[in-house]
Amino acid sequence: MKRDWLSQLYKALWLRIGGCPWTYIIRDSYHSKPLLWLALATAIGILLGHLFWGTPWIPGQAGDLMLPLFW
């Protein structure tokens, strides 16, 4: 029963978005707008860098130990 509901949802989404898998839509978008995807990847990297740089729960991270090398 759950499988029927899920397959109906997938079929409805498939028909609504043009009859192709979402991976193809992302691939086509990547090839038509590469700067958008580059900016998105950069933004995600900056966000993750700000969230996790220098936190004690990531073992082996340089953090503030590298700071004297650059001053």
Kindly report the pTM of this predicted structure: 0.50
Query: Dihedral of the CA atoms 58, 63, 66, 68 (nearest 10)?
Result: -150
pLDDT in tens, 3-50: 788 888 888 877 777 777 777 878 888 899 999 999 999 999 999 888
> What confidence score (pLDDT) does residue 44 get?
95
| Residues 34, 57: Cα–Cα separation, whole Å | 34
**Quick one: how far is CA 59 from the chain centroid?**
23
Question: What confidence category does residue 52 fall into, taking pLDDT thresholds of 50, 70 and 90?
Answer: confident
> What confidence score (pLDDT) does residue 26 get?
82
Q: Would you list the domain boundaries of the chain? A: 1-41
> What confidence score (pLDDT) does residue 38 get?
96
